[in-house]
């Protein structure tokens, strides 16, 4: 996995995570946009994931940390271009506009896809936390695809 952080700009603090996955882009897309599959790899509490995968559609999930703390997450889909690009708006308490994260899938052959996650945050601390969470998501997704490539 490669990680890139960009210095603070007028737009905030950004990071980019890139990882090669052994699955076609359509399979990765399905894992990211199907509630039952997403819950299996994204540390979500069973039954907490809801997805209306279309521009303006809502999503929600409650994530459980390894320590057992639970965090409800909500947002909406900003851009949906199956199976190559997905932009999520994420509700942030105290922030008037949602934070956005963009997922891009680039096929590099029939069973190889490069996934790139990008996000810009308001502070370096927020960026570091979001980057750590995104890294955990990519770890979970990688393991899920390896364990169950056709689920």
d(CA 65, CA 51): 21
Domains defined along the chain, listed by start: 2-127 (3.30.530.20)
pLDDT at residue 1, rounded to an integer: 56
Backbone angles phi, psi at 29, to 5 degrees: -60, -45
> Cα(115)–Cα(138) distance, rounded to whole angstroms?
9
- Residues (pLDDT < 70) of the chain are 1-11, 149-151
Q: Which residues contact 147 (CB under 8 A, 6 or more apart)?
A: none
pLDDT at 109: 84
pLDDT at residue 10 in the model: 55
> What pLDDT sits at residue 9?
52
């Amino acid at each position: 996995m490669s990680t890139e952080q960009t210095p603070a700009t007028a737009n905030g603090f950004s990071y980019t995570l890139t990882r090669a996955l052994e699955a076609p882009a359509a399979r990765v897309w399905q894992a990211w946009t199907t509630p039952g599959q997403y819950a299996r790899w994204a540390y979500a509490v069973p039954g907490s994931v809801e997805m209306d995968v279309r521009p303006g559609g809502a999503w929600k999930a409650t994530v459980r940390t390894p320590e057992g703390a639970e965090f409800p997450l909500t947002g909406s889909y900003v851009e949906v271009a199956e199976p190559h690009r997905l932009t999520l708006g994420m509700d942030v308490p105290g922030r008037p506009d949602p934070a956005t994260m963009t997922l891009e899938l680039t096929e590099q052959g029939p069973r190889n896809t490069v996934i790139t996650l990008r996000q810009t945050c308001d502070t370096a601390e927020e960026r570091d936390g979001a980057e750590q969470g995104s890294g955990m998501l990519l770890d979970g997704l990688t393991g899920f695809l390896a364990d169950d490539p056709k689920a």
